[in-house]
Amino acid sequence: MVKLEVEVTPRSSRPGVAGRRGQALWVRVAAPPERGRANKEVQEVVASFLGLARGAVSIARGASARRKILEIEGLDASGLEEALRRAADEGV
């Protein structure tokens, strides 16, 4: 299991991974931050970006904050670094 810091922008017209903000992965979601809808979409977007099932991504800290710590199952540190490098290089 690895941990990943994300910064979330809710109510975005262009959901998906938008690149990096400092050390965090920048994730835009269409859902509003109400009743956990944005959190659920964050999990889906990050899991899809990493090529994992949504159940492999859980929120460890920051459920009600824009900055969150996610726990990722089924991915090692080198796989995560490669994905983050790809996000930065491509400006996803």
In contact, 39 and 7? CB cutoff 8 Å: no
Q: For position 15, which CATH number holds?
A: 3.30.1200.10
Lowest mean pLDDT segment, chosen from 33-37, 41-45, 69-73, 85-89: 85-89
pTM over 0.85: yes
Long-range contacts from 46-54, C-beta under 8 angstroms, 24+ separation: 46/4, 46/6, 46/17, 46/70, 46/72, 49/16, 49/17, 49/83, 49/87, 49/92, 50/75, 50/79, 50/80, 50/83
DSSP the chain: -EEEEEEEE-S-SS-EEEEEETTEEEEE-SS-SSTTHHHHHHHHHHHHHHT--GGGEEEEE-TTSSEEEEEESS--HHHHHHHHHHHHHHT-
Tell me the per-residue pLDDT of 38-58, one tens digit each, with 9 for 90 and over.
Answer: 999 999 999 999 999 999 999
The per-residue pLDDT for 20 is 86
Q: Mean pLDDT for the chain?
A: 92
Mean pLDDT of 23-27: 91
Number of structural domains found in the chain = 1
Residue 78 has pLDDT above 80, yes or no: yes
Q: Is the pLDDT of residue 3 over 90?
A: yes
Structural domain including 73 reads 2-90
